A and B are shown apart, each in its own frame.
Chain A
Amino acid sequence: MTVFKTFLKVLNKCKAPLILYTVILIFFGGFSLKTNEVNTSFNAYLPDVYINNLDENAKITENFMTYLKKVSNVVLLDEEDISDALFYRDINIAITIPEGFNRDFFLGRKPKLEIQCTGDYASSLVNIYIEKYMQVANTYRVLASSEEELLRLINGNLDLKTNVYLKTSLDTEAMSKATTYFNFTNYCILAGCIFGVCFSLFSFKQKNIDDRIRISKINYKKYLMQLFLSTFVFAFFLWLLYVLLGFVLVGKIMFTYHGLIYIVNLFLFTLCALSIAFFLNQVILNKDTINGIVNVIALGSSFLCGAFVPVQFLPDFVLKIARILPSYWFIHVNELTTSLEKINLITLKPIWQSMLVLSLFTCFFFLMSLYVKKRN
């Protein structure tokens, strides 16, 4: 118990970074997991649009704006904020309806709409909407006998919608948010475990303290075992804390089999992070370098394996390199869980295989730390 108490005392000195990692996780979780509504029907993507109407608000102009409001989120902004809003993707596209648009349209002059866009998927989608509307409107202009009939024909046409059937029983949006949370825990667990364990064990490793312990009446093997258990208890509480936070932030999914997979996977990764911490504790010779090493390993793994940036946005060569890191397999299991429709032995196979690889990493780092300790 003496060893455990001392371990806790030393650990208490480095509580600030551990609290910081947890606060970042809560902040991140709260920021990205805002909605918790069950969503199992198809919802069309709504791009964010700013409209600057320089024309009179009548007939075709008004009708066009009403259409845009149906297919997108129309955002209200001050004109001087548009450039920043576009750059920071607060809006996907800014549309300027020129003066005389309504008049020119009815005169058959095919007036153009000026746009400024981000060039991403969402802005391309709005482009499609604009072209579609204008093409339909221009075609019916030839056909309609009055302006009222024209607007009626346009609206009747644009109201036609294809049936979209969502072939899943999963709440895909909520699942992907849960995955985002657990992927982010990669950074917190890795940084927290390595920093806490290395910082605490380093105090016991100092020569004068180690010598005092060796000549004391305490059984050295027993002491090492107590130290090992202390670190395990610390890692266990870290895991428990992030799981409980998961229940608060992620919600209902945590009570399903999918939630259980996330929890088990996080536990295996915590063990792996602990083994990495043991190994680093054996090779780090200067206490001042712990912070740098923690930052490089935790940030590096998180950036390369998809904890910060979604896996689908990472280049293939980065993902290939990332396979040599345990974080990759942890995040891989989370990603597989996102789309796990049915749970049976066949669908679970890639999940337990990845978990096995993660466990092999754990064994490897434990054995390496034992080897280095023995050699030292």
Chain B
Amino acid sequence: MFKHNFIYTLKILGKNKVLIFWTFAFPIILGTFFFLAFSDIENNEKLDVFPIAIVENDNFNSRMGFKETFEVLSDDNNEDKLFDVSYVLEEDVALEMLENKDIVGYILVLDEPTVVVAKSGINETILQVTTDQILSHEKVLEDYIRKNGNSRLENFVKVMMDDYSYVLDNSNKNMSYTMVEYYTLIAMTCLYGGTLGLTALNQNLANMSQRGKRIEVSPSPKFKVVLSSILASFLISLIGLFLLFLFLVFLLKVDFGLFGGHVVLLAIVGNLAGLAIGVAIASCFKVKEGTKLGILLSVTMLGCFLAGMMGITMKYVVDKNVGWINMINPANLITDGFYSLYYYDTLTRYWWDLLGLLIFIGVMVIVSVLALRRNSYDSI
């Protein structure tokens, strides 16, 4: 009976095109969209060379600090190149370039240097900070000469231009926040697996389908029938998840950190959590199948939203302010588990996430068992 029901549930679920779309195809399609939209976003946030213009008038040429600094910072051979500089003779030309968005801003040296920009932004601030720095150097020299005259000026300039770095960078190398988007995608797929569990269980409920009525009156043990249906849906959702992993790892090059076995364990437990929530909704709510699916999809989407699918800031905001919500949110526990494997060197947070998922599964199973056991129908 177990084997028979297992195989037939596999066939029934496998032929349900809508379910297969949501559990197999949709996560891959969404992953592709994520990849296309986010593939360049982090590169664009890094400090990069940007175009500026300089009005090359007599005032500019007489300020050696400005002239030399911008020559160095726009030199192609300089590793720290910051600007693509266009030298123009008239301010009108620079202004036209600014209006056409060909440059971020331009420098005009009259009595004092002025930076002209089209908006407030980070590149504009960097341009301002660079000119501030040149003014700062000029002031240092001025202060030195005022105090000491020109004696030992060369030595002083050496101290001033010392390229010693005062910063010791201990940053984590795994800082790619777009990874979290892919982790929420996996969480969504795990929870969408619940639709399979829900549909499979509905097939065994007398108030939901003709097949359920027949099973209810048959002598076959209910436990075996339900368990085989759930296992069949678990197998199908695992296949979907496996395909998604292949897609993410080999095509999109998503980084899951160095703990391969832990990734697999979390994926399996996450999938079980999805299945458990599907079964719990199927057994607790005495409504139409469409409504049950609606409840499951709404819970999934809400969970994924809070876990950062529509913007990772949301996960951080919820974690920081109402942390208990994300502690009972399976989508977040799955996402957070993958995040901790990727970002942290230790596994403490991962094990807490896994424990949270296991408790969630336990609660869902108890709720389902209580709702399913000793059912009797007066009229259906």
A binding-site residues for B, Cβ under 8 Å: 24, 39, 42-45, 81, 83-90, 110-122, 124-125, 127-132, 134-136, 138-140, 142-143, 153, 156-158, 160-168, 172-173, 288-289, 292, 295-296, 299-300, 303-304, 308-309, 312-315, 318, 339, 341
Check B117 against A308 for contact (C-beta < 8 Å).
Answer: no
A117-B171, A160-B136, A292-B18 in contact; A87/B116 too (CB < 8 A)?
A: no
Check B116 against A165 for contact (C-beta < 8 Å).
Answer: yes
Check A45 against B136 for contact (C-beta < 8 Å).
Answer: no
Of A83, A156, A318, which one neighbours B172 at CB under 8 angstroms?
A83
Check A88 against B136 for contact (C-beta < 8 Å).
Answer: no
Of A121, A132, A304, which one neighbours B33 at CB under 8 angstroms?
A304
Check A303 against B37 for contact (C-beta < 8 Å).
Answer: yes
Of A110, A116, A157, A166, which one neighbours B120 at CB under 8 angstroms?
A166
- B contacts with A, residue count (CB < 8 A): 76
Instruction: Give CA–CA (A124, B49) in the complex, Å.
Output: 13
Residues of B within 8 A of A158 (CB): 136
A115-B169, A142-B159, A164-B115 in contact; A309/B38 too (CB < 8 A)?
A: yes
Check A292 against B21 for contact (C-beta < 8 Å).
Answer: yes
Q: Which residues, 82 to 101 on B, are CB-close (under 8 Å) to A?
A: 95, 98-99, 101
A86-B172, A87-B177, A341-B99 in contact; A163/B112 too (CB < 8 A)?
A: yes
Instruction: Give CA–CA (A151, B118) in the complex, Å.
Output: 35
Residues of B within 8 A of A39 (CB): 120
Residues of A within 8 A of B112 (CB): 162-163
Instruction: Give CA–CA (A303, B165) in the complex, Å.
Output: 41
Q: Which chain B residue lies CB-closest to A89?
A: B177
- Smallest beta-carbon distance A62→chain B, Å: 17
Q: Which residues, 1 to 54 on B, are CB-close (under 8 Å) to A?
A: 18, 21-22, 26, 29-30, 33-34, 36-42, 44-47
Instruction: Give CA–CA (A90, B312) in the complex, Å.
Output: 11
Stretch from B137-145, B197-205, B358-366 that touches the partner: B137-145
Stretch from B122-130, B188-196, B231-239, B252-260 that touches the partner: B122-130
Of B22, B34, B143, B168, which one neighbours A153 at CB under 8 angstroms?
B143
- Smallest beta-carbon distance A122→chain B, Å: 7
Encode contact with A along B58-90: 1 for CB under 8 Å, 0 otherwise: 000000000000000000000000000000000
- Smallest beta-carbon distance A236→chain B, Å: 28
Q: Which chain B residue lies CB-closest to A141?
A: B159
Check B47 against A162 for contact (C-beta < 8 Å).
Answer: no
Instruction: Give CA–CA (A339, B112) in the complex, Å.
Output: 29
Residues of A within 8 A of B101 (CB): 339
In this assembly, does B119 line the interface, its C-beta being within 8 Å of a C-beta of chain A? yes
Instruction: Give CA–CA (A84, B143) in the complex, Å.
Output: 44
Instruction: Give CA–CA (A153, B21) in the complex, Å.
Output: 69
In this assembly, does B210 line the interface, its C-beta being within 8 Å of a C-beta of chain A? no
Check A303 against B136 for contact (C-beta < 8 Å).
Answer: no
Instruction: Give CA–CA (A288, B148) in the complex, Å.
Output: 85
Check B170 against A162 for contact (C-beta < 8 Å).
Answer: no
A119-B171, A121-B45, A135-B160 in contact; A88/B315 too (CB < 8 A)?
A: yes
- Smallest beta-carbon distance B75→chain A, Å: 18
In this assembly, does B372 line the interface, its C-beta being within 8 Å of a C-beta of chain A? no
Residues of B within 8 A of A165 (CB): 114-117
Of B26, B41, B113, B167, which one neighbours A131 at CB under 8 angstroms?
B167
Check B140 against A121 for contact (C-beta < 8 Å).
Answer: no
Instruction: Give CA–CA (A335, B127) in the complex, Å.
Output: 24
A113-B166, A127-B167, A292-B18 in contact; A172/B119 too (CB < 8 A)?
A: yes
Encode contact with A along B127-166: 1 for CB under 8 Å, 0 otherwise: 0110111011001100110011000000010011010111
- Smallest beta-carbon distance A181→chain B, Å: 15
Instruction: Give CA–CA (A124, B118) in the complex, Å.
Output: 22
Check B120 against A143 for contact (C-beta < 8 Å).
Answer: no
Check A130 against B319 for contact (C-beta < 8 Å).
Answer: no
Check B46 against A132 for contact (C-beta < 8 Å).
Answer: no
Residues of A within 8 A of B115 (CB): 162-165
Of A44, A114, A119, A124, which one neighbours B175 at CB under 8 angstroms?
A119
Check B132 against A162 for contact (C-beta < 8 Å).
Answer: yes
Instruction: Give CA–CA (A112, B169) in the complex, Å.
Output: 10
A120-B45, A304-B37 in contact; A296/B144 too (CB < 8 A)?
A: no
In this assembly, does B343 line the interface, its C-beta being within 8 Å of a C-beta of chain A? yes
In this assembly, does B247 line the interface, its C-beta being within 8 Å of a C-beta of chain A? no
Q: Which residues, 251 to 280 on B, are CB-close (under 8 Å) to A?
A: none
Sample 15 A-B pairs with CB under 8 A, ordered by A number.
Answer: A42-B124, A84-B316, A84-B319, A86-B172, A89-B313, A121-B126, A131-B165, A132-B132, A142-B156, A143-B144, A160-B136, A162-B113, A167-B117, A303-B34, A304-B33
Residues of A within 8 A of B117 (CB): 42, 164-167
Instruction: Give CA–CA (A304, B117) in the complex, Å.
Output: 30
Residues of A within 8 A of B121 (CB): 45
In this assembly, does B344 line the interface, its C-beta being within 8 Å of a C-beta of chain A? yes
- Smallest beta-carbon distance A125→chain B, Å: 6
Check A125 against B26 for contact (C-beta < 8 Å).
Answer: no
Check B46 against A42 for contact (C-beta < 8 Å).
Answer: no
Instruction: Give CA–CA (A114, B45) in the complex, Å.
Output: 22
Q: Which chain B residue lies CB-closest to A153?
A: B143
A84-B319, A86-B175 in contact; A167/B98 too (CB < 8 A)?
A: yes
Instruction: Give CA–CA (A127, B133) in the complex, Å.
Output: 13
Residues of A within 8 A of B167 (CB): 112-113, 115, 127, 130-131
A132-B136, A135-B160 in contact; A88/B316 too (CB < 8 A)?
A: yes
Q: Which chain A residue lies CB-closest to B301?
A: A20
Check B118 against A167 for contact (C-beta < 8 Å).
Answer: yes
Residues of B within 8 A of A313 (CB): 40-41, 44
In this assembly, does B320 line the interface, its C-beta being within 8 Å of a C-beta of chain A? yes
- Smallest beta-carbon distance B318→chain A, Å: 11
Check B29 against A296 for contact (C-beta < 8 Å).
Answer: yes
- Smallest beta-carbon distance B259→chain A, Å: 17
Check A88 against B312 for contact (C-beta < 8 Å).
Answer: yes
Check A163 against B114 for contact (C-beta < 8 Å).
Answer: yes
Check A121 against B47 for contact (C-beta < 8 Å).
Answer: yes
A44-B128, A136-B140, A160-B135 in contact; A122/B114 too (CB < 8 A)?
A: no
Can you name 9 extra interface pairs (CB under 8 A) apart from A173-B120, A312-B44? A43-B120, A87-B172, A124-B126, A127-B167, A132-B129, A139-B156, A143-B148, A157-B136, A315-B40
Instruction: Give CA–CA (A331, B30) in the complex, Å.
Output: 21
Check B170 against A116 for contact (C-beta < 8 Å).
Answer: yes
Instruction: Give CA–CA (A166, B46) in the complex, Å.
Output: 24
Check A44 against B116 for contact (C-beta < 8 Å).
Answer: no
Q: Which chain B residue lies CB-closest to A306?
A: B37
Check A162 against B172 for contact (C-beta < 8 Å).
Answer: no
Instruction: Give CA–CA (A118, B47) in the complex, Å.
Output: 11
Check A44 against B120 for contact (C-beta < 8 Å).
Answer: yes
Instruction: Give CA–CA (A299, B169) in the complex, Å.
Output: 39
- Smallest beta-carbon distance A284→chain B, Å: 13
